[in-house]
Copies of this chain bind each other. A is one copy, B any other.
Amino acid sequence: MRIGVLGTGAVGQALATRLVALGHDVMMGTRDAANPKAAAWATAAGGPGPASAGTFADAVHHGEVVINATAGTASLAALQAAGGAEALSGKVLVDVANPLDFARGAPPTLAVANTDSLGEQIQRAFPGARVVKTLNTVNANVMVHPEKVPGGHTVFVAGDDPAARQTVIELLRELGWLNGDILDLGGIQAARGMEMYLPLWLSMTAAQETPMFNIRVARA
């Protein structure tokens, strides 16, 4: 599958590298075409799938699926720079970003919370995009290698387009997430809870002194 990954941070690198290793054709998109991190990634990625680098707009044009792995507080601007509503129309847009605000230092607060979410903001700004929020509740290493945390543990999916959610669920399975561990929360409004979970995730990371964990839903 042709996939565009927006962002060169730890999350973008982890997802792009793993998707190439799984055989996908991945372009990493950046603000500037000459971004050295993206070029270095494309050279190093290897794997059965091809790896390339381009602008945000190039990556959106390239991808049947586009992954937003930019910093949450810069995501709307990055998606606008990528061509905005027209370029994103019809694309499955996987939003893995968290709108973390470090203006007051650590721990960060959320720049969007309670009555809204970044996932919903993106869906409103680009109504033709088929936005699916997922993977924002785990560390980059857990995202792409869930088997590193033993036993079953849960990943959430939310988005208004059921077919887009299904496409994303199939990608999650390829990454190693087990069927029974993928919890479909329905429409994109559930992105609110997925993002507002971050302060608890940060407290758990501090208490356990590691980000290599996840939560598992246990049912009666």
Residues on A facing B (Cβ under 8 Å) = 104, 109-110, 113-115, 142, 148-154, 156, 158, 183-186, 190, 192-194, 196-204, 206-208, 210, 212-220
A65 CB to closest chain B CB (Å) equals 23
* CB-CB nearest in chain B for A214: B218
Inter-chain pairs besides A184-B207, A213-B218, 15 sampled, C-beta below 8 Å: A114-B114, A114-B199, A156-B200, A183-B208, A185-B207, A186-B206, A192-B199, A193-B202, A193-B204, A196-B199, A197-B197, A210-B219, A213-B217, A214-B217, A216-B216
A218 touches B109 (CB 8 A): no
In the complex, what distance in Å separates the CA atom of A198 from the CA atom of B214? 17
A178 CB to closest chain B CB (Å) equals 12
Partner of A153, one of B153, B183, B207, B218: B218
A115 to chain B: which residues have CB within 8 Å? 104, 109
A203 touches B207 (CB 8 A): no
* CB-CB nearest in chain B for A208: B219
Q: Is the interface of A mostly helix, strand, loop or mixed?
A: mixed
B208 touches A200 (CB 8 A): no
Number of copies: 2
CB<8 Å pairs between A and B, sample of 15: A104-B115, A109-B115, A113-B114, A142-B220, A149-B218, A149-B220, A183-B208, A186-B206, A190-B207, A193-B197, A193-B202, A194-B200, A196-B198, A214-B218, A216-B217
A218 to chain B: which residues have CB within 8 Å? 149-153, 213-216
In the complex, what distance in Å separates the CA atom of A217 from the CA atom of B196? 17
In the complex, what distance in Å separates the CA atom of A194 from the CA atom of B213? 17
A220 touches B212 (CB 8 A): yes
